[in-house]
Amino acid sequence: MTKVLIKGNEAIAEAAIQAGCKMFFGYPITPSTEIVEYLSKHLPKAGGTVLQGEDEVASIYMCYGAAATGTRVMTATSSPGFSLKQEGLSYLAANELPVVVVNVNRAGPGLGGLGPAQSDYFQCTKGGGHGDYRLIVLAPSKSQELYDFTMEAFDLADKYRTPVLLLADGFLGQMMEPVEIKKRIIADLPPKDWITDGCRGREKRKIASYALSNEAGEATCLKLQTKYEQIKEKEQRWEEYKAEDAEYLLVGYGTCGRIAKSVVLNARRQGIKLGLIRPITLWPFPEKAFASYKDKIKGIVTVELNAGQMIDDVKLAVECRMPVHLYSRQGGMMPGENEIFNFTAQVFDWSVAEEAITDGKNI
């Protein structure tokens, strides 16, 4: 097993090549730019095409065109650019076109800042564009997961004929870590018998999402929702860390999930039964992860790089049966493990020795 030291954004780009992505349409934006740069250098050597669009809107619609021909295609951006892609994402979802989209979340709103953030959670998990649709949202917390989840995103997109979003943050995108460059395992996927690639030898096909009759419109909506229900049932993913016997839980995804592990370790050293649930799919939100905990946990703290967005989904998942608190940093700031620990100790009234609180690098 060989590992290479690689930047998070480059891990995403390399995974796309290995996954058989042949088309990339993008537009530079910090902190995701290394993705388009890496692919510009390496995708043509793998028989693919990189085209820098005139804007983010063009890029997502170029993806739309490529996906309609059955080609594996990806685009990558960062928060303000992700906003611009929302119209296209709605069309992709409506027309059931498989496209992998990467959002390396930076601070917002507005032009915001270049630091890491999770402030696009609502936009990513609740639809984002117009109409009733969802994206499958994968939330990696280390470079290897950036690689693995990107590869898998292509299969999920093809399996469900839906756009799939890889949601990272500026910290993950810029960080260097060793990554094992795995080869693609060819999955058993449905045939692409719907593509528009010229009708030679077959009936003509069309890809469109317009219905003048309300009855037809509702049928299309119900078809999408049936698919989303299947995804909810089959694709919820999460990681548990020392949660089995826990009395309290931290919940955090991505970078926050990683920091929270150190907080759990610190708490355990002091005899406090703290555990972690790290959502990996943000949509579908891993409600199942909370099923066995909602009657035995005394309280939860969500750790988020926003003003409190995922906390709503956590409260729904535990049916508000216990106090759920938020520890939040915003605008590009990252919490230290000590501040999370102190906050958690305070809200749950733990009596802990002052000297036991450290800000070590345990994970």
Residues that bind another protein (CB under 8 A): 22-23, 25, 49, 51, 53-55, 57-59, 61-69, 71, 73, 87-88, 91, 95, 196-201, 204-210
Output 89 or 172, the one with its CB closest to another protein: 89
Beta-carbon contacts of residue 215 (< 8 Å; ≥ 6 apart): none
Return phi, psi of residue 216, to 5°: -65, -40
CB of 39 to another protein, least distance (A): 14
Output 195 or 356, the one with its CB closest to another protein: 195
Question: What token pair was written down for 53?
Answer: 């669009």
DSSP 3-state of 361:
coil
Output 129 or 173, the one with its CB closest to another protein: 129
Report DSSP letters for 95-164, one per residue.
Answer: TT---EEEEEEEE-STT-EEEE--TTHHHHHS-SSSSS---EEE---SHHHHHHHHHHHHHHHHHHTS-E
Output 91 or 147, the one with its CB closest to another protein: 91
d(CA 320, CA 329): 23
Output 54 or 349, the one with its CB closest to another protein: 54
Output 62 or 166, the one with its CB closest to another protein: 62
CB of 34 to another protein, least distance (A): 22
CB of 128 to another protein, least distance (A): 15
> For helices 337-347 and 254-269, what crossing angle results, to 10°?
60
Helices within 294-353 (DSSP H only):
310-317, 337-347
**First-residue to last-residue Cα distance in the chain:** 22
DSSP 335: -
CB of 212 to another protein, least distance (A): 9
How many residues does this entry show for the chain? 363
CB of 70 to another protein, least distance (A): 8
Output 85 or 329, the one with its CB closest to another protein: 85
Whether the CA torsion 89, 92, 96, 100 is positive or negative: it is negative
Output 57 or 189, the one with its CB closest to another protein: 57
**Strands 23-26 and 49-52, bridge-based pairing:** parallel
CB of 102 to another protein, least distance (A): 17
Question: What token pair was written down for 301?
Answer: 């703290």
CB of 132 to another protein, least distance (A): 17
CB of 15 to another protein, least distance (A): 20
